[in-house]
Structure formats: C-alpha cells, structure tokens
Structure 1
C-alpha cells in the first residue's frame, strides 16, 4: 500500500474497507492486497481507533498504515535505466514530484473531499499517492490500469498471452529474452511519467468534476433548466 506521509507519525492514504465489494470482482482482488488497515475492532489503535472497515481517503498513524509491514520510499523522477532495473512494479515512476507544499495540499484536500471509488486496477492507493505527488491523472477512458502495480501485472499478462508460438523454436533462452523485452516495454510505456494520455489537474477541479459526475441525472436536468 502507498500513502503520503504528512509528519507527526501520520499518513494520508486511499483505502477500501475490509469485505466491501468495490474491487474489480475478478481474480485481481486476490492478487493485490487491500490497503485497508488491519487493526481488529476488539483492540483498536489508541490514536486511530478501529479503522479495519475504513473506506476512502483516511489518515492513519504510521503503525496502522504499515500493519506490520516494512516501510519503503517510493521513488520519483528516476531515469529510464533505473526504472527498468527495478523489475517489480509499484516502487518508482519517471514522473517528478511537485514541491512538498503542493503534495500536502492535495492530500489534505482529498482527505476532506475524497478521491472517488476504489478500484483495484484503475483507482487504487498508488494512483492516489502518485496524484498527490505529481498532480497527474490519466484522462482517457481506454485504460487498463494507471498504477505501477497494475501496469506490471498487465505487462506480465501481455507477455504470456502475446508471445508467438514460433519463438519457441528459438529455444527457451530466445523466448525468455523476447518475454522480458515485452514486459519491460509494457511497464515503461504505461508509466504516468511518459504516457501521453495524462494531464495535470488541480485538486479543486478534480473534486468539482467528480461532484458533477456523481450528481443524479434529475439534478443535472434541473440545473440546466435553471
């Protein structure tokens, strides 16, 4: 799980409540871990309370955020060579981070206003953190996942599904080289730092647009008539 550290031992992050059916409804829900804190309700955190079923953008203490896991720093603005050297997705991006004051403003604004519905492959905790750090969002509806973890998964799936059978005649070594090449290309072209279907969106505009999109149709028609 990925979040924004805001100081004083607190992290703002995007989560889905345990047991809530707001993922993809596919095997991906079991392959990716939920970013929901795992403190049981019978022993809530003295600082955060019971957040085991928390949903949306929340603030947690660092201990609840980690839930017993290790702490890693997500890297921004790295070179393509270093990016490809990190075979595991969800650890870095080519996109550069904005100044800390901009990052904190986005995170705190979304804490109050939300970041939409959680979707394991298109709108997850990594997407939230990357948006807070960069202000970048994918604006096309034709997308199979914006985050590094999702991009790595789909790149790996593409490698398996698209490798022509004829490459097997070159031997295992040739097939492996081709597969690695497809995987690396898939990861790098999916990174938000190089994609062309991204744009920088102010957080106020993002929330305002989400509010309009979430309005009932009748309310939209009433507004037009006024």
Structure 2
C-alpha cells in the first residue's frame, strides 16, 4: 500500500474491505465490498449498459458483471453476465482476471492529492466492519436504486456501505472519486482563467494540474458539506434521499 499502488494479496483481505479492480486497460475501476468466504457484494449494470445513457456509448465500456456464459457458469456463483443491480459474486468473477486493490479511508489531504488518479482513496473515515457488512447485505436484498455513472455507480455503492454518507443535493456528482476526477479534469482544461495566468506551456500545465487537484479535493466526501449520514433502512424507504430510482423500463426488465 502506498502512493503508487493500493495492490494487495488475497491473504490480506478482511471482511468489510472496500476493494476494486481496474478494467479496460486502467480506464476505470470496478468497486465492491468483500464480505468473507471469497465473496464480494457489488453494484453493476448488465452487459452493454455500463454507462447507462441508452446510446451507442454504452457499448464502449464492458459490463462489470461476471462474464461466465450460460453454458459454462461459475461453480461458485453461477451465471451472472446478464444480471445487474446489487449482486454477490466470488472474488474471481469480481476481478475478471484483474489485480486486487484496497480502497483507503481517512487519508491525509497531502496523500489524497498525491494519489492523482481518482477512485482510490478518500479523506472520510470508515465505519466499523459490522456496519459495512450490514449495509452491503441489506442492499443485496433491497437494491441500491438506478445505476448512474456520475451519481450512483459501483464506487458510490461501496463508499456508502463503508461510511453511510449520501449526497443530499441533486446538482452535483455523487461520492465517486472516479466521476469527480473526470469532471475535475474537464474543468481544468476548459477553465477560462488558464488563459490569463500564464503563457508558457510549463506554467499552463502547472496551473491546470493545480486546478485539477483542488477540484478533486473539494469534491471528496471527506470535506464536502452536501453529504449526510443516512441509515440504510431509511435509504430504501426514501429513494429521494439521493439514490436514483429505477426507471420503469429497468424495473420491468428486472
């Protein structure tokens, strides 16, 4: 564990750990909660719907559901390639051939900024293991609303299980560090002040990276003011608290 990599061995895993594995040549990571006995609870969309836009963009990112075919199901967790929502998979199916990484909580601001890639750590502290496992198990039975790549994705699910924190405003991104990093990068590139603060390429790069880091930092759930701790039972009873409801089409398919 360190600034350059959060990779761990399977022997280091403990129930309640927030884990992730990179997909598509490190384009994005898939997150979940390890619950013990080689099983992971995670939130995903079925094949061809990972982005969830209903357009051709959905086919650009592969589904994070296990990829075993109906003719060759996983001996431990079965055939789940067409399953979506909150599911339970074995660790091998969750990793899909990738390496295992541990998401870090309660890191310092300096460490957070040094981890320039989003979706690997947060300043927010985690709750006790029993709370994490309770939330994950409860959501496995009751769902986590509709999938949204910017507001309600697999990382949002895992962070909620670990912290119980929900974003209470509807105009910002969710808890996901990956989504916040994408928006921070876009903001740093197109921001008008960059044109006036420097004219050299090196200076432009420094200013742009600085704005990227600041944007990531202020979007982290550990410092945001638009988050609230919500019991998982209340979350299911009141979807308007921050978890998007399933669309009628998705609900019908389920």
TM-score interval w.r.t. the shorter chain? Answer: 0.7 to 0.9
**In structure 1, C-alpha distance between the alignment counterparts of 2:150 and 2:240, rounded to whole Å:** 22
Q: Structure 1 regions of 5+ residues with no counterpart? A: 216-226
**In structure 2, C-alpha distance between the alignment counterparts of 1:203 and 1:79, rounded to whole Å:** 27
Is residue 2:137 matched to residue 1:108? Answer: yes
CA deviation string 1:173-196 (max 9, x = no partner): 110111011100110011011100
Q: Could you state the TM-score of these two structures normalised by the residue count of structure 1?
A: 0.87
Q: Give the match's secondary structure for 1:2.
A: strand
- Larger helix percent: 1
**In structure 1, C-alpha distance between the alignment counterparts of 2:219 and 2:59, rounded to whole Å:** 22
CA contact (8 A) 2:175 2:221 kept: yes
Q: Runs of 4 or more off by more than 4 Å in structure 1?
A: 25-33, 211-215
CA contact (8 A) 2:39 2:91 kept: yes
Aligned length: 215
Is residue 2:229 matched to residue 1:196? Answer: no
Q: Answer with 37-46 or 146-155: which moved more.
A: 37-46
**1:140-219 alignment runs, 5 A limit:** 140-164=169-193, 166-167=195-196, 170-210=199-239
Q: Answer with 206-215 or 175-184: which moved more.
A: 206-215
Deviation for aligned residue 1:168? 7.9
Q: Could you state the TM-score of these two structures normalised by the residue count of structure 2?
A: 0.78
CA deviation string 1:71-109 (max 9, x = no partner): 000000100000000010000011100000000000000
Which has the larger Rg? 1
**In structure 2, C-alpha distance between the alignment counterparts of 1:66 and 1:26, rounded to whole Å:** 27
Are the structure 2 counterparts of residues 195 and 132 from structure 1 closer, same or farther at C-alpha, using a change threshold of 3 Å? Answer: same
